[in-house]
């Protein structure tokens, strides 16, 4: 059983650019959530995807968008990057079954916006 993987590990962009981050869910999981973690803070929920549909969104602007693919892998896209977008971006996968909400996190992608 493979865990959650994310790519790339690190990324440096300049303000105004666009970025795509990728996540492969843990085997057998059908739900993926994305979080933004600023330095010294807890993760903040961006959105969740279930069966390729967005299923809940946090307080993030529309320039944050996502996709989930039939194999349950996922992308996070951020347009018009701002300096405050510099953070660790985490994806978490889970299996929507019964009353289970256990989410398993990947190692994250560290994004720096200059």
Q: Cis before residue 8, ω within 30 degrees of 0?
A: yes
Options 25, 48, 68, 74; binder of other proteins; rule CB under 8 A: 48
Report whether 78 contacts 85 (CB < 8 A): yes
Report whether 84 contacts 64 (CB < 8 A): no
The token pair at 31 is: 């739900």
Report whether 31 contacts 92 (CB < 8 A): no
Residue 66, interface with other proteins (CB under 8 A)?
A: no
Options 1, 2, 39, 40; binder of other proteins; rule CB under 8 A: 40
Nearer Cβ to other proteins (17/41): 41
In the complex, which residues of this chain contact other proteins (CB under 8 A)? Answer: 4, 31, 33, 35, 40-45, 48, 50, 55-56, 58, 90, 92, 94, 96, 98-108, 110
């Amino acid at each position: 059983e493979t865990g959650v993987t994310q790519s790339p590990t690190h990324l440096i962009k300049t303000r105004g650019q666009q970025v795509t981050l990728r996540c492969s869910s843990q085997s057998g999981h059908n739900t993926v959530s994305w979080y933004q973690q600023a330095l010294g803070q807890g993760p903040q929920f961006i959105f969740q995807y279930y069966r390729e549909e967005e299923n809940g969104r946090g307080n993030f602007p529309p320039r944050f968008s996502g996709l989930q693919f039939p194999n349950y892998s996922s992308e996070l896209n951020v347009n018009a990057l701002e300096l405050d977008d510099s953070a660790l971006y985490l994806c978490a996968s889970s299996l929507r079954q019964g009353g289970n909400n256990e989410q398993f996190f990947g190692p994250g992608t560290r994004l720096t916006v200059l």
